[in-house]
Amino acid sequence: MKSVVISKPDKILRGSITLPASKSISNRLLMIRAISGKDFTINNLSEADDTLLLQKLLYTILHGISRKKVIELDVANAGTVIRFLTPFLSMQPGKWVLTGSERMKQRPIGILVDAMNHLGASVDFLAKPNYPPLLISGRAINGKEVTIDCEVSSQFTTALLLLAPYLPEGLILHLKGKAVSSPYIEMTIHLMRLFGARVKQGKTRIHVNPGVYQPRNIHVESDWSAAAFWYEAAVFAEEVDLELIGLPLESIQGDAVLPAIYQNFGITTQVTNQGIRLTKIPKKIDGFYYDFTDFPDIAQAVIATCAGIGIRGRFEGIQSLQIKETDRLHALKNEMGKLGIQISLSYDGNKVTALDLKPAKPSFPGGLNFETYGDHRTAMILAPFALKTGMLKMLNPDVVVKSYPDFWENMKSLGFILQF
């Protein structure tokens, strides 16, 4: 298996890097364009693997369909892609099989399938109930009201909302449970309205009127989720003067809470002409608590930050991390354990309710071997530990292409030495 050895001869983080375009915004815009059937320009579209895959599959669906009776589409390990395509294909003529990697076949999708079938779609499980692969028979859908459980993934809600203006009577969506990643639902509604959809949003009910998306050219913001790894690195460094190009401080992305979170660790965020600038004022912190219900994509980086400086921490709203590209809580526990850091999990039945870090002085031996578990975010939260260890080895570093293809090049430009 491919590996990379990462070293850093000093503990200085100085320079300027351009962050990737937001994958979340890009994928929503691709769906809006496909659903509308009208072309418009998306500037700064993400080059992440998930976005490239979604582009390719949408082209196949809309332009490159073969004459086979059943058309199979492989989403690999892209959760967003399978969730966004399920409602979309339900209204496309023909028969479709949505499948993916072995890990994808372990990621539940029954909540979305049940909602679509309630609206009149025809979606069946081909193997294990509640999990891909799916057989979808495209047809007209006439339902107008459904309840969706929001406690597993906001992407189920987003997938239904994106298609809603094109249902004959629109959609009344009732939200059940405490929504995870609710800023992503806000992002979806913001973009829908930008393209002319009429959406009325309440606490537990969203009403989308029937209509059409109006084409307009649009520029995609850089990705705030990708900034989390550099904030983590800034805490581990001794000197920091880092510019992150393309990030707007006023953003439609929920993960723009990073400046507020990392202010607790002595990291200052300032607006520049091109983005933001990180500097550091040493600050003592004994412990940290946070609820990541709305921000699961940055949870690993913040937990790793606290682990790396050896403080007590308690983190809630993390249950969705179990069903990502890997079980990220399992990955955190294993890899932080290599540094002598103890992580304990609290449960309510099978659901993780909290993660606790015990205060400990981490050990940072050079030449540590880290696993990535096939997960892009796990790889990127481990890489900054080179500032602590001086050197570390990581297996399967190519996983970063899922969301941040230039991550390793950005590390090189900041003085990290990489040997593949």
**pLDDT band (50, 70, 90) for residue 83:** very high
Distance CA 115, CA 349 (A): 25
Are residues 271 and 357 both part of a single domain? yes
Same domain, 194 and 259: no
Separation CA 206–CA 318 (nearest Å): 25
CA dist 99 → 95, 111, 113 (Å): 13, 17, 14
Average pLDDT over residues 40-50: 95
Could you give the percent of the chain with pLDDT greater than 90?
76
| Domain end (from 196, 219, 242) | 219
- Shared domain for 362 and 386, answered yes or no, is yes
To 5 degrees, how large is the angle CA 326–CA 363–CA 353? 40
233 and 150, same domain (yes or no): no
- Average pLDDT rounded to a whole number, residues 126-150: 93
> Residue 361's domain spans which residues?
3-20+222-419
Compute the distance between CA of residue 216 and CA of residue 29 in angstroms, rounded to an integer. Answer: 11
Domain boundary among 199, 219, 239: 219
pLDDT over 70 for what percent of the chain? 98
CATH code, 175: 3.65.10.10
pLDDT at 65: 64
Name the least confident of 176-180, 220-224, 257-261: 176-180
The residue from 219, 234, 268 where one domain ends is 219
pLDDT band at 405 (very low <50, low <70, confident <90, very high): very high
Q: How many domains does the chain have?
A: 2
Region 393-404 average pLDDT = 93
Residue 180: is its pLDDT beyond 80?
no
How far is residue 108's CA from residue 102's CA, in Å, rounded to a whole number? 12
Query: What distance in Å separates the CA atoms of residue 157 and residue 146, rounded to the nearest whole number?
Result: 11
Across the chain, which distance is largest between two alpha carbons, in Å? 65
Cα–Cα distance measured from residue 23 to residue 223, given in angstroms and rounded to the nearest whole number? 7
DSSP letter (8 states) at residue 298? G
- DSSP, residue by residue, 77-133: T-HHHHHHHHHHHHTSSEEEEEE--TTGGGS--HHHHHHHHHTT--EEESSSTTSS-
- The two tokens of residue 354 are 């909290």
One domain for residues 181 and 296: no
296-346 tens-digit pLDDT: 899 999 999 999 999 999 999 888 777 677 788 888 888 888 988 889 989
Confidence of residue 64 (pLDDT cuts 50, 70, 90): low
Q: Verify that 344 and 388 share a domain, yes or no.
A: yes
Per-residue model confidence (pLDDT) at position 327: 85
Question: Active-site positions?
Answer: 297
- Could you tell me if 286 and 155 lie in one domain? no
Q: In Å, what is the CA distance from 184 to each residue of 80, 119, 201, 293?
A: 12, 23, 14, 11
Distance of CA 1 to the CA centre of its chain: 25
Q: Are 136 and 86 in contact (CB under 8 A)?
A: yes
Question: What pLDDT score does 222 carry?
Answer: 96
Residues 331 and 233 in one domain: yes
Question: In the block, which residue shows the tokens 């430009």?
Answer: 413
250 DSSP assignment: S
Residues 213 and 306 in one domain: no
Residue 67: pLDDT band (50, 70, 90) is low
Distance between CA atoms of 211 and 193, rounded to whole angstroms? Answer: 11
Whether residue 177 is predicted with pLDDT greater than 90 in this model: the reply is no
Query: In 202-342, which ranges are E strands?
Result: 205-208, 218-219, 239-245, 267-271, 275-280, 287-291, 312-316
The pLDDT of residue 273 is above 90? yes
Q: What is the mean pLDDT of residues 392-403?
A: 93
Cα separation, 318 vs 332, in Å, equals 12
pLDDT for 350: 80
Mean pLDDT for the chain? Answer: 92
The answer on 40 and 65 residing in a single domain is yes
Structure tokens at 152: 């597993």
CB 38 within 8 A of CB 215: yes
CB of 418 within 8 A of CB of 407? no
Q: Are residues 227 and 125 part of one domain?
A: no
